[in-house]
Amino acid sequence: MTIAFTFPGQGSQNVGMGKVLADTFPEAKAVFEEVDEALGQKLSDIMWNGPEETLTLTANAQPALMAVSLATMRVLEAKGLDLKSSAAYVAGHSLGEYSALAAAGSIDVATTARLLRVRGDAMQNAVPVGVGAMAALLGLDFELAAEIAEEAAQGEVCQAANDNAPGQVVVSGHLAAVERAVEIAKAKGARRAVMLPVSAPFHCSLMAPAADAMSEALANAEISPPAVPLVANVLAEPITDPADIRARLVEQVTGTVRWRESVLWLAGQGVDTHVEVGTGKVLTGMVRRINKESTGIAVNTPEDIDALIEKLGG
């Protein structure tokens, strides 16, 4: 069994996430307290009590999802998990890349929380509300979806933003251009093409102001080589050098999340098990669609944690 630890992105959040961990394990509680202190905000209260619309705000959802992932990791470590000896790689979907780096000891939790707050604010503020949009094109391969985005642009921005799994591509850009992409996709045989309820057009060139903000924030952040290599979203290949990590985290803001290719690359290296750490099962669902030979394990609950430790022989 060769393992990659993976970390979910925005959309996996839900009110109440992490509360059972905090109530059960002091190691988890300590992570939530550390994140609250780093942000100067009782983010944990929003996570556990809502309201949902406040948790869903990009500036809250991003550090919140990271906090749950890292709380889960700390409990696993307290029960004997050593990431370096257990996993060959880490990877994360969009903001999950920050969680992956924190889990691998590349960036400390407090710094990661502050970086994600900057990232969330910058991504939200990069484009006025209503100017941008995203849409899921289902049933089309990535190459066709990218061609559709290019055709739909017509002088505006429309890019393939997320290559999530076979037949699951998200496009991002100006509202009118994304709406055109939906209609073109339907005409070209998409199983479904739907606008997504997101607050900004992530992972396209409209996010350039946010990339600039992250370049500045990351320049001052202390980053160490991770305990195991990070498979970077924008490369679908591993990196370990701190300067390379900084550059790719900046590129990631406007670049395509190459998740399908990342999972296939990992499969090519013999990775057969993907452990999704944090909240939800989005990545676990994608793994089987990308490579039927791979197993996905979602670790969300105390029972999941115990099951994983047992599976690893702990």
Pairing mode, strands 168-174 and 158-165: antiparallel
Structure tokens at 214: 């992250």
Structure tokens at 289: 């669609």
Token look-up 């209260």 returns: 45
Count, in order, helices (H) and strands (E) of the chain: 15, 10
What average pLDDT does the segment 4-9 reach?
98
| Extents of the domains making up the chain | 3-126+206-311, 132-198
Residue 9 has, within 13 A of its CA and on its CB side, a CA count of 18
Whether residue 90 is predicted with pLDDT greater than 80 in this model: the reply is yes
CATH code for residues 3-126+206-311? 3.40.366.10
What average pLDDT does the segment 118-140 reach?
96
Quote the pTM value: 0.97
Q: Which CATH number fits domain 132-198: 3.30.70.250, 1.20.59.10, 3.40.630.30, 3.60.15.10?
A: 3.30.70.250
Place 314 in a pLDDT band, splitting at 50, 70 and 90.
low
Cα separation, 99 vs 74, in Å, equals 12
- Strand residues in 148-290 grouped as ranges (E): 158-165, 168-174, 192-195, 230-232, 237-239, 273-277
Task: Identify residue 94 by its one-letter amino acid code.
Answer: S
What average pLDDT does the segment 281-292 reach?
96
Q: Which residues form the catalytic set?
A: 94, 203
| Digit-coded pLDDT (tens) for 55-71 | 999 999 999 999 999 99
| Digit-coded pLDDT (tens) for 101-114 | 999 999 999 999 99
Structure tokens at 143: 């190459």
State the pLDDT at residue 199: 84
For residue 302, give the nearest of 102, 48, 100, 23 by alpha carbon: 23
For residue 9, give the nearest of 297, 252, 267 by alpha carbon: 252
